[in-house]
Structure 1
Amino acid sequence: YQVARIVDFMKQQLGKMPRSARTAVRRYLQQREKNPQFFDRAALRNRKAMKHLYASLHIKPSTRADAVLFKNNPPPDSLAFALKQLAKGTSPTEQAQLIIEQKIPYPVAVGALKQITPTVLVALINSMSPQEVINNLKSLQERGAIDNPEVKALIDAKLAEAATSDRVSAFKAIKAAEVAGVSEETTAQLQRVADEQLKQRGKITKTTALLVDKSASMTVALEVGKQIATIVSAIAEADLFVYAFDTIAYPIQAQGKTLSDWDKAFQHIFPTGGTSIGAALEIMRLKQQSVEQIIIVTDENENSAPYINTIYPRYCQELKIQPNIVVVKVGQHTDYLEQQLQQCKAMCETFTFEGDYYALPNLVPLLSRPSRLELLMEIMETPLPVRDDK
């Protein structure tokens, strides 16, 4: 569906579809047609988007693609045919066998089945990846999976596997623990998954300060600040100082490292007041809290003293350190703070938050690498995709 969104965006913004883009989409679809299993799964999950791509760009589908997507007459060896058989099945054992043999995705199977028995749940969970279990944890709980000891053991095994899997999103594990309403034991297991996944991205060995803007209209900054505090505290091997600020600074201390711990720590912090980005750094100067890097979550506006361009040089001079700064831009942001830091000759990186909480773990490489050069070298060493017809 992401490809379909790109196609629609280009048509709306450009008024046309460039030939090179159409060729790329055609190759994208043909590549999937070459692998029937891959195609069947894509068609099952995103049927409407795939039909839209073929029809809107006038791309001729293969015989199999035509039968599955347009003729509604899928071949017997296709996943769509197996799904029809699953819906017709009356025996839980027969349904479970079909799910295992065809590896029918959980959301699709749940939509096709009238009743889900423990036997079917076991088959579904066995065919799910660790990430799929995390994504559907709330749904599984609603269907009684957590209450059945045999099914619960399978879920626990998948979550244990998730800790070392290279295809699991750390933040999805954190969010699952937050919204699924599972037991404390399962929540702790999800937190361990998130911690292990974050550690694979890197460890933060530098002393770090997290400064979160709590001025008026900065609700989004507080939410993002909680998430970043959860991520950083999970992998920090050095001191972490957290402050919220408006025209004065408020120290924040959590009793643990989970998202719920940071929620409690921030529970009495509300978005009010003016903005002094330098306020938190001034408190750190007075307390002699020396850090090697500072994360500032803000829209970059500042309208009250102490100002950052005054406090930052004083902090560096008195504590004999020049911390790197990462500005996480939220809301209707400006570039005021960046300009002020450039005048102070501070090393400054920016990360723009556009509503995608799952992108926040991408901050870890910025915070864990010893230098910008090392991060750049790692980026340059990443191989680019190559077309096989070139």
Structure 2
Amino acid sequence: MAETQEHDIRAQILNTFLMTPHRKLGELAPLHTDALERDPLFYGHLAPWYFKNGEVRDHRVLFIAHLATSDYPEFREVAWVLLQQLAPYEVSRVLDHAKKVVGKVPRSLKGAIEHYLRQREENPRQFDGAAMRARSDLKHLYASLRIKPGPRAQATLFERRPPEDSTLAVLKKLAKAEDVQEQALLILENKIPYTTAIGAVKQITPALLVALIISMSPQEVINNMAMLKRRGAMDNAEVKALIEEKLTQATSDKRVSTMKAKKAASVAKLDESSTRLLNEVTNKRVASKVEVKRPTALLVDKSSSMTQAIDVSKQIAALVSSVISAEFRVYAFDSAAFEVKVSAPEKERPELSDWDQAFKFIKANGSTSIGAGVAKMRADNFRAEMIVVVTDGGENTAPTFNAAYDQYVETLKSYPSVIIVEVGYVTERFEKSLREHGIEVMNYRFNGDYYSLPNLLPLLNAATRAELVDLIMSQELPQHPKPLQAV
């Protein structure tokens, strides 16, 4: 009984973290405080697991801040190790959260930040790159913790006289240069980041645009697709090819946000080939995270007022079809159900654009029979092990889900588990009825943040929520090479 209760608590904590959208740190902080108090052991293992699998980056900052200020030395070690992987602005946010929200900065956290800064000081190019992108954040770290900067940091950050061999000194030359070729050469030879270079030059010529694109990271290219299009980059075959080469690199770059490529494609209104490449980036980034091995059905509520459910379902269908190695079918339902099929036989895996086309004529109207989807699966003799239902749970027409599920089990001898993706104004009655009927069910609340949808995939990857909890608990805690100082 105690073990079951423990799993339930951990499942609740996990569910909360997987469902949270991007928000301000202050709004997410209570989740961490509550989880650490309720189950510190699970929270400690959840942190490194989420670092590898989670999509909401603000959680990474909060995990470190709360672990670093906890009473457990093992957790402070985890925080020490994970902090070294952050960008300077994230380290700055860890410090601010620890000071202003938690109310303390242990010596171990100060030591972790000092080590972080010293490691960058020992690598001049890495330090210069950090100083260009996050000068104010680095100054804040040194000043707030009264860490004495090394000579290069002192000259660069506090005296505004960077060494002649530094990239920041080159940046001053770039701002003064009038010749376009000289500007392009300075950018290329010194690998000046796009976000820094764009503010130093007065006019963007085609030659300079090429240099800027070469200096961009894959994520920067994705983030600035709309701007590049406005600058005419997509109208020049050579420049476009250069952009597409960067996008190809993004498929294997772990720093690239899973859903931002898909967002960039819709915002920039690119041509078919570029859109396809951005979708491929998303698909490959998703595929690198998880593989769904169980036959799965996606049931889409298209009843009245369920327009959002239809839109969310397209995104989920694209995500699942990019990672599933078993049979996957999609059914839309109101009072009746029909299969939604993709027409892309030449492709190994359908893309979002294919699902957009498949859902093109599906509009929200009619009453709600969630069981109609299951009845259609039974009629099609589709033996699924997982059913994902995108709905508000407002079931009001026969056949009901439970009745259809019983007939499905009787006919196909399969007991699929259920994930309810809740959208809109949700009634809890549907989920409660499934639990009371003995159906294994999990829920995922969609709060409007499409960037967090990949968080749904680990639920599909694990046979049950309990198994996912066990997987997280098996995650090894990273250890500091030397014992840390006490708080």
Task: Give me the whole-angstrom Cα distance separating, in 2, the residues matched to 1:167 and 1:239.
Answer: 31
After superposition, the Cα gap between the structure-2 partners of 1:346 and 1:160, relative to the gap in structure 1 and judged at 3 Å, is same
Equivalent residue number for residue 194 of structure 2: 106
- 1:115 positional shift: 1.6
- 1:50 positional shift: 5.2
CA RMSD after TM alignment? 3.5
Equivalent residue number for residue 384 of structure 2: 291
Question: For residue 367 of structure 1, what is the amino acid of its counterpart?
Answer: L
Equivalent residue number for residue 282 of structure 1: 375
Alignment of 1:1-390 (within 5 A): 1-2=89-90, 14=101, 17-20=103-106, 24=109, 27-28=112-113, 31-36=116-121, 37-48=125-136, 57=144, 59-60=146-147, 62=149, 64-65=152-153, 67-69=155-157, 71-215=159-303, 217-249=305-337, 251-256=339-344, 257-272=350-365, 275-331=368-424, 333=426, 335-368=428-461, 375=468, 378-390=471-483
Secondary structure of 1:146's counterpart equals helix
- 1:31 positional shift: 0.7
After superposition, the Cα gap between the structure-2 partners of 1:217 and 1:28, relative to the gap in structure 1 and judged at 3 Å, is farther
- 1:229 positional shift: 0.9
Secondary structure of 2:373's counterpart equals helix
- 1:71 positional shift: 4.7
- 1:105 positional shift: 1.5
After superposition, the Cα gap between the structure-2 partners of 1:132 and 1:270, relative to the gap in structure 1 and judged at 3 Å, is same
The answer on whether the counterparts of 1:312 and 1:344 sit within 8 Å (CA) in structure 2 is no
Task: Give me the whole-angstrom Cα distance separating, in 2, the residues matched to 1:65 and 1:343.
Answer: 63
- 1:88 positional shift: 1.5
- 1:35 positional shift: 0.4
Task: Give me the whole-angstrom Cα distance separating, in 1, the residues matched to 2:284 and 2:386.
Answer: 23
After superposition, the Cα gap between the structure-2 partners of 1:158 and 1:206, relative to the gap in structure 1 and judged at 3 Å, is same
Equivalent residue number for residue 83 of structure 2: none
After superposition, the Cα gap between the structure-2 partners of 1:267 and 1:153, relative to the gap in structure 1 and judged at 3 Å, is closer
Deviations, residues 79-118 of structure 1 (Å, cap 9, x unaligned): 4333222222222222222222332211221222112233
- 1:23 positional shift: 5.7
TM-score, length of structure 2 as denominator length: 0.67
* Residue correspondences, number: 386
The answer for unaligned runs of 5 or more in structure 2 is: 1-88, 345-349
The answer on whether the counterparts of 2:394 and 2:430 sit within 8 Å (CA) in structure 1 is yes
Secondary structure of 1:19's counterpart equals coil
- 1:78 positional shift: 4.0
Larger relative contact order (Cα-Cα within 8 Å, sequence gap ≥ 6) = 2
Task: Give me the whole-angstrom Cα distance separating, in 1, the residues matched to 2:91 and 2:191.
Answer: 25
Deviations, residues 280-306 of structure 1 (Å, cap 9, x unaligned): 223333443332211122344545544
Task: Give me the whole-angstrom Cα distance separating, in 1, the residues matched to 2:126 and 2:482.
Answer: 21
Question: For residue 263 of structure 2, what is the amino acid of its counterpart?
Answer: K
The answer on whether the counterparts of 1:82 and 1:98 sit within 8 Å (CA) in structure 2 is yes
- 1:231 positional shift: 1.5
Task: Give me the whole-angstrom Cα distance separating, in 2, the residues matched to 1:223 and 1:24.
Answer: 43
The answer on whether the counterparts of 2:286 and 2:454 sit within 8 Å (CA) in structure 1 is yes
The answer on whether the counterparts of 2:369 and 2:398 sit within 8 Å (CA) in structure 1 is yes
Task: Give me the whole-angstrom Cα distance separating, in 2, the residues matched to 1:301 and 1:11.
Answer: 45
Question: For residue 239 of structure 1, what is the amino acid of its counterpart?
Answer: E
The answer on whether the counterparts of 2:387 and 2:417 sit within 8 Å (CA) in structure 1 is yes
Deviations, residues 22-81 of structure 1 (Å, cap 9, x unaligned): 8636733651353044444344334455556666x5655625555545554444444433
